[in-house]
Chain A
Amino acid sequence: MNIYLIVLAMMAVTYLPRLFPFLALDEEKIPPALKKWLAWLPYAALGALIIPGGLTAIDGPWWISPLGLLIAAGISWFYNNMIVTVLMTLALLYFIPLG
């Protein structure tokens, strides 16, 4: 099986859904209700992206990934910087024995 053929087909089915809404939705003609509904999308999407995938992302005891997410939430609550949050959390997790 040709891997490049697979890659091109994957690109087509990935790219078209990314492109279509930009072509189909005209900013001024969108019903206000749909606009309000779409305003929630970033929050709903991130919720579904983090849970449950993020709860089991690290191989190890069940609590290690949730702990990492909580640490990151704690750091970014007080210090709004993505890179610092991510690097500090990873550094802290690195020193926890995973058995």
Chain B
Amino acid sequence: MVSKGIKDGFPVLVGYFTTAVAFGLLGKNTGLLFMETLSVSLIVFAGASQFILLSLLASGAGFAEIVITTFLVNFRHLLMSASLAVRLEKKSFLLPVAAFGVTDETFAVASFGASRITEPYMIALNTTSYAGWVGGTAAGYLAGNLLPPKLQNIMGLLLYLLFVAILTPEVKRRFSLLPVILLSGGINWFLSFLGWMSSGWNMIAAIILGCTAGYFLEQRRERGAP
């Protein structure tokens, strides 16, 4: 299980490394010290909220604003952990370690890559990804400005490409997944267009509505409706 976790984590390691290079570089440009920037990646380990932290610091936001925004942005992991928790075989004292590394990407890989989810698998997958994230942060802070600006710009798409690469084979296998994926994305888009709520709440609402739609579509299919 450990070696499968490392193997499955490798694409995330590559993706995280390059994305974290951008984070490290931005941390430096925001005026943080090396250890400060690195400690964010070491301790928080949550991509989007780390970038948000930098922009909030730059705009002079206060403690409460930063912490509440982080909570809202990362609260979706509650849903992802719940989805993994119902598949997790056998809990042990390692559970708090396994839970630390639940991110969008490790969740996606574990959900689709593993037929069985165990603590050793999750810890191996998460640690591999974590190594990329922390290593990339350090490299970006120290040497990120050596990358051509155009490459830095294009790399903003990298994690989204990883998500597409995870989803496409699933959709190919089962085309009826696509409506739910697009519906959830469409709801998220519409909500962010309306701008009533923060992006964290938008995403949570979109995920909940998407799951509910999928659930009822499947109920209908099971009852033999066309």
Contact = CB atoms under 8 A, between A and B. Distances in A.
A4 interface: yes
A13 B156 contact: no
Contact of B154 (A40, A80, A82, A94): A94
Contact of A41 (B62, B157, B163, B211): B211
B95 A44 contact: no
Interface residues of B, number: 93
Contact of A47 (B45, B95, B185): B185
B4 interface: no
Given A7-B39, A47-B206, A13 B74 contact: yes
Contacts of B14: 83, 86
How big is the A interface, by class?
35 or more
A48 B131 CA distance: 26
B154 to A, nearest CB: 5
B153 to A, nearest CB: 5
A59 B111 CA distance: 31
A36 B215 contact: yes
Nearest to A30: B86
Contact of B32 (A3, A65, A75, A86): A3
Contacts of B214: 37, 39-40, 43-44
A53 interface: yes
Nearest to B113: A82
Given A49-B203, A85-B161, A40 B180 contact: yes
Interface string B60-76: 00110011001100111
B205 to A, nearest CB: 9
B86 A35 contact: yes
A82 B186 CA distance: 24
Contact of A69 (B76, B160, B181): B160
26 contacts: A7-B43, A18-B74, A20-B78, A22-B84, A37-B214, A38-B83, A41-B211, A42-B108, A42-B112, A47-B181, A47-B185, A48-B184, A50-B164, A53-B160, A58-B157, A59-B156, A72-B164, A72-B165, A75-B165, A77-B168, A77-B169, A82-B165, A83-B10, A85-B161, A89-B161, A94-B150
Given A41-B79, A45-B79, 4 more contacts: A13-B70, A38-B82, A40-B211, A52-B189
Interface of B: 10-11, 14-15, 32, 36, 39-40, 43-46, 49, 53, 57, 62-63, 66-67, 70-71, 74-89, 91, 95-96, 98-100, 102, 104, 107-108, 111-112, 150-151, 153-158, 160-170, 172, 177, 180-189, 192, 202-203, 206-212, 214-215, 218
